[in-house]
Amino acid sequence: MIPSVGMEAEGEVTGWLHRLAQGDGDAFDRLVPLLYDEMRRIASENLRGERREHTLGTTALVHEAYLRLLAGGKIGARDRTQFFGAASRTMRRILVDYARARKSLKRGGGLLTVPLDEAQRLLTHHQASEILAIDEALDRLSRMNDRAARVVHLRFFGGLNTEEIAAVLEISVRSVHRAWVTGRAWLRKEVAADLGIALTDPTTSPRQE
Amino acid sequence: MDHLSERWMRLQDLFVSATELEGVERAALLDEGCCGDDELRLEIEAMLRAHAGPLMEVEEAVFGTESEDGVEVGLVGQVVGSYEVIREIGRGGMGMVYLAERVDGYQQQVALKVVRSEFVDSEMARRFRRERQILARLTHPNIAQLLDGGITDDGRPFLVMQRIDGLPITRHCDELRLGLVDRLRLFETVCRAVLFAHRNLIVHRDLKPSNILVSGEGEVKLLDFGIAKLLDPSDDLESIADPGTRSELRLMTPEHAAPEQVKGEPVTTATDTYALGILLYELLTANRPFKGHDTSRSELEREICELPPPPPSLSVARRNRSDPKGMATIAASRASTPERLRRQLKGDLDTIVLHALRKEPDRRYATAEQLAEDIRRYLGGDPVSAQADTWSYRWGRFVLRHSWSVAAGVFFFLCLVVFAGIIFRQSRSLERERDRARLGQDTTEQVTQVLVDLFEVADPYKSPVGGSLRVDELLERHSERVISSLEDQPAVQGRLRHVLGKIHIAHSQFSRGRELLEQALSQRRSISGPEDAEAAGIFHDLAVLRGRTGDLAEARKMLRRSLAWHESHRGEEHETVAQCLQDLAEALPNSSDEKLELLERALELRRRILPPRHVGIASSLNDLALVRLDQSRFEEAVELLSQSKSIVDEALDAGHPFALAVRTNLIGALIQQERLEEGLALQQENLAQQRRIFGDESVSVANSLNSLGTILARKGDWSLAETAFEESLDLWTRLLGPRHPQVVNTTRNLGRIAELLGRPEEALAHLNRAIELRWDSSQPEEDLDYLFIKAQAAAILWQLGRVDAAEEALEETLTLMGRAAQESNYRIVDAQVMLAEVKLRIGRLKEAEALLLDSLGHRVERLEPEHPKIAEARCGLGRVFARSGRREEAGQMFRSCLATYSAWGLAHPDTVAATQRAARQLASGDTDS
């Protein structure tokens, strides 16, 4: 059950997930770099690919990483849960790295640098600003209400849908939905304030549908 | 929970509720909810703007066009045909709507409608071209005019329509605070515009408030014949069936869809009639008959196809219970109050709306014109053409159609009903014996003659009234006149009042019955003095009535006096003494030892002095069974009630009130014993007879609805159960007033159902209401029932995220329960299990384990081995063991109970889900190691 040195990335990820599920706190720090590499690779491949629109597509990316890293081995429900938790954290790091590169900011020291041209193809300047604002706002949210922050995190960066999040956090689908709707509106408001965008209320003017 | 997190939860509650409201209702909610916290309010308002506003760019990138919001690449700034797109003004299921302006200098603003790209295919393009042709022909002052159309550069069809500057009809009405009459006039105009389209062989198919705008000048315009379909002119209207229309269903707004649309059946003009019914419902009550949010789409669709819509007046009463502030605001924007609005809707308007909303298209109004006509008749004070469905039609078919196979997902944590419902129990023959003893022969004859005269009014050959009158109508119309005709014969008049009073009571007209009895009593006393036997009889009947209308303390006081009087005047070996014992027992709480003692005394006495198959004995058996039921000794209860029923079946007519009561109680006992099949069979038999004898407005029917709700709830059919409970509550409240124990009971059932349906706030409101009612009618700190409702309410707190409060309240309640009961009782055990669940969730495993072990021991001792409640306690323990790493023991527990769960199901769905998760984790852990 303990991963041996020199294992393929696939087996290694499974092993660390298992240890993480058993409460090994260090496992998380070992896991994220593995995921980071693989997910960056997938992102780069997507950018080089034929597809014309380069959407961020976190759902597809996280799920593809899951398939590549874990599809081979048997994996329990608890390990799967841990995977999506870790993958969404990784996705957030990747996006923040792209955003910083896009805005030509110095990285705060860490894993890898992101090629500027990739960042430019992936994100607009405005999107990069939004991601950085979201990153900070999510930290604030998690200090206020950790559960709401985790729901938003899993939905936004992990690409999980409401039912999957409910399973991961062991709360009801309805609670997830409420937390997501509230968290998203709060995030939009915070980001708008950060970037100096005025929010207008579309319902105050007569409208036609 | 710390301060920040608490504030967030408050913000979340308010925000989510606010997103579901508009205009004044939303403002009222925020006024109330923020209560002066301006910072919170500003924050929520900003969030609401953000919620309704555009997405962040990065959101669009992350979620793409697949987002739950249906993001679509916009056309703003582009030129489409000869129009420049200025801004987006709306999104529908099928496309986007933009404000656009002519580029060739005409200065005309128009609405430009473009199909979403994922819907663009050849069929869609064809449909768009067709729509264009249809609409070009449709010129009516209340229908938005089509101006132009074509194909965009990226191949999407578009339509250009007259731009209407207006508000959705519902908002227009609310902002102008229009009363019902003005709303109905506007609605009539809508009907006539729809009728015009129908005459041009066009069905709208998606009528809803956002498609019906009212301009500042008050002019109505129907928009968006987006999925209108040209009816084949060679066919007549009734026989239209085009399978090609079915693919459009996914585009429907489900809240407004008719059953035939949900089922993919042919759409006709009757489909629009249904949509008009929904619109009218919303205009009148601000609610929709079927709830869109909080239920899944498939659940909503099932509701639309199967659930009888609650009458608008009931919907108002319902909202007024769960959200009195909100309902007051809604009523105010209709220039009314909740109670007045309810009364305005009750009757013709209920009937009109329900007629339009019938499930079967051919049972609705045949045309929009007929609907418009009924509105006009209502406004003119003329009788409407719509007929109310009978109660048995509305309910009977659902009960009949339900198969037991859906029972797989039934989860119940607690008994829903503490069945306390003997309704009528007097043995008529005993009463007659008593009467003869009390009265001189001549008085009896006179009373008989008066009654004969009274009933002759109902004979069509002797009375100009015509038709046959029901007894209650007869009483209402003529009793006063007959009584006053006897002014000069006080003895006969008093006797007649007594008889009529009892007839009123038998027909659930309690306040009038009480009035008559009180008059009879004072009349009798003034003639014969306080020690008179007839006066004592009337006094006794008044005491019993007190108890039945909820004033138990006063009833007990009076009944003790009555018992003492009868014992001293009749000797202890007399049937009236047995009756006194039994009536006094009924006024005592179930948990009291005295109650059981009195009932056993009454039974022994009757066995000594009556023949063995006498109804008096059946009556005693029935009451004893109710006490056994309360002690969860279900098997004994069923046995006693079966004995009682066999006597009653022999001695009384099948429709006799007492026979019905015994059967109703037996149904309750069978439900408690989980013998649902037998219960349902008996229930159906009973219902038909009750309706025949008492009509729709009686406590018997209310009681049956409550049992029906219980059965449905046990089967997992919660939405239908909720409606049954609501109708029951409505009847109870009207017949017995708001403070009767049955009102408490059904209110509590509604709370339980709301909880199961995932609406904890509403559940809490119901339970708090039940607590409040109970507080008024008994000594709460000694009453296990009352305390148990408090425990139920406390258990809901954790679902609202208030875990600590839940734990504290449950512990406090359990302490009180322990003090109130001499020995452990099933309610205490149920409350213990709730507390254990809370402890388990917050990780107090040791405490949870102790509680569960104790509960399990108690349940194993009293219940059958396969009883779901035993499985429930075992599952709880399994989860405790799993969490503490005791895998072996956990596995044992899970294995023994999961089978029972899937067969029965008796826990809260969340609990079952948690158990299954725990079991799965355990299983996957096992295979890995």
Q: Which residues of B touch A15 (CB under 8 A)?
A: none
* Poorest-pLDDT segment among B57-61, B297-301, B470-474, B587-591: B470-474
A142 at B interface, C-beta within 8 A: no
Contact with chain B for residue A204, Cβ under 8 A: no
- Which residue from A143, A156, A208 is facing B213, i.e. has the nearest CB? A208
The one-letter code for the residue type at B598 is: L
- Active-site residue identified among B2, B153, B174, B206: B206
pLDDT for the residue A50 = 45
Instruction: List all residues 6 or more positions away from B6 whose beta carbon is below 8 Å from its beta carbon.
Output: none
Distance from CA of A198 to the nearest CA of B (A): 10
Say if residue B792's pLDDT is above 70.
yes
The residues, any chain, with a CB within 8 Å of residue A78's CB and separated by 6 or more, are A21, B921, B924, B925
pLDDT at residue number B368: 92
For A104, B703, B722, the CA distances from B739, given in Å and listed in that order, are 71, 16, 21
Residue B443's pLDDT is 61
Is pLDDT larger for residue B260 or for residue B427? B260
Give the mean model confidence (pLDDT) for residues B393-405.
38
Tell if the CB–CB gap between A185 and B58 is shorter than 8 Å. Answer: no
Establish, for the pair of chains A and B, how many residue pairs have beta carbons separated by less than 8 Å. Answer: 137
Mean pLDDT, rounded, for A33-43:
72
Mean pLDDT comparison of A13-27, B631-645, B723-737, highest-scoring range: B631-645
| pLDDT greater at residue B418 or residue B515 | B515
Q: Give the separation between CA B349 and CA B378, rounded to whole angstroms.
A: 8
Query: Residue B737 — pLDDT band, cuts 50, 70, 90?
Result: confident
Task: Give which of B59, B116, B172 to mutate to test A binding, by max A Cβ within 10 Å.
Answer: B59
Average pLDDT, rounded, for chain B: 76
Structure confidence by residue, pLDDT tens digits, B675-697:
777 877 787 777 767 766 666 67
Please give, rounded to a whole number of angstroms, the shortest distance from the CA of A6 to a CA of chain B: 22
Length of chain A: 209
Chain A CA closest to residue B97: A209
Most confident of B217-231, B471-485, B520-534: B520-534
Q: What is the pLDDT of residues A125-178, one digit of tens each?
A: 888 889 999 999 999 999 989 889 999 988 888 877 777 788 778 787 778 888
The pLDDT confidence band at residue B899, using thresholds 50, 70 and 90, is: low
pLDDT the model gives residue B432: 47
Q: Match 């001293």 to its residue by tokens.
A: B568
Given CB atoms, is A191 within the 8 Å cutoff of chain B? yes
Does residue B791 surpass a pLDDT of 80?
A: yes
Q: What is the DSSP letter of B55?
A: P
**SS3 for B291?**
coil
pLDDT, tens only, B593-623: 898 999 999 999 999 988 888 888 888 898 8
The predicted-structure confidence for B563-599, as pLDDT tens digits, reads as follows 998 888 888 788 888 888 988 988 887 767 898 999 9
pLDDT at A110 exceeding the cut of 60: no
Closest CA to B540 of B590, B575, B492, B493: B575
Q: Which residue has the higher pLDDT, B226 or B248?
A: B226
- As a whole number, mean pLDDT of residues B1-25 equals 83
Sign, Cα dihedral of B38, B40, B43, B44:
negative
- Whether residue B237 is predicted with pLDDT greater than 60 in this model: the reply is no
pLDDT of residue B424: 31
Taking the CA atoms of chain B, what radius of gyration do you get in angstroms? Answer: 32
DSSP label at B143? B
Residue B184 has pLDDT above 90, yes or no: yes
> Does any CB of chain B come closer than 8 Å to the CB of residue A209?
yes
Q: What share of chain B is helix, strand, coil (3-state, %, to 5)?
A: 65, 5, 25
Sign of the C-alpha dihedral, residues B440, B567, B620, B695? positive
Average pLDDT over residues B166-174: 90
Task: For residue B827, name the pLDDT band (cuts at 50, 70, 90).
Answer: confident
Contact A39/B at CB under 8 A: no
- Extended strands (E) in B779-925: none
The verdict on a CB contact (< 8 Å) between B914 and A78 is no
Which chain B residue has its CA at the smallest distance from A22's CA? B925
Is-catalytic flag, B206? yes
Determine the pLDDT at residue A105: 59
Asked if residue A205 has pLDDT above 60, the reply is: no
Query: Taking 50 as the threshold, does the pLDDT of residue B417 lie above it?
Result: no
Q: What pLDDT, on a 0 to 100 scale, did the predictor assign at position B401?
A: 36
CB contact under 8 A, B16 and A178: yes
Q: What is the structure's pLDDT at B444? A: 61
Strand order in the sheet with B146-151: B79-80, B83-91, B95-102, B109-115, B157-162, B146-151
Mean pLDDT throughout B803-811? 89
Considering only A53-57, B82-86, B509-513, B892-896, which range has the smallest mean pLDDT?
A53-57
More confident residue, A116 or B393: A116
Q: Find, among B432, B254, B391, B279, the residue nearest to B691 by Cα.
A: B391
Q: Which residue has the tokens 């219970």?
A: B321
Residue partners of B564: CB distance under 8 A and separation at least 6: none
Res B299: pLDDT = 66
| Amino acid A1: pLDDT | 35
Specify the higher pLDDT residue, B489 or B750: B750
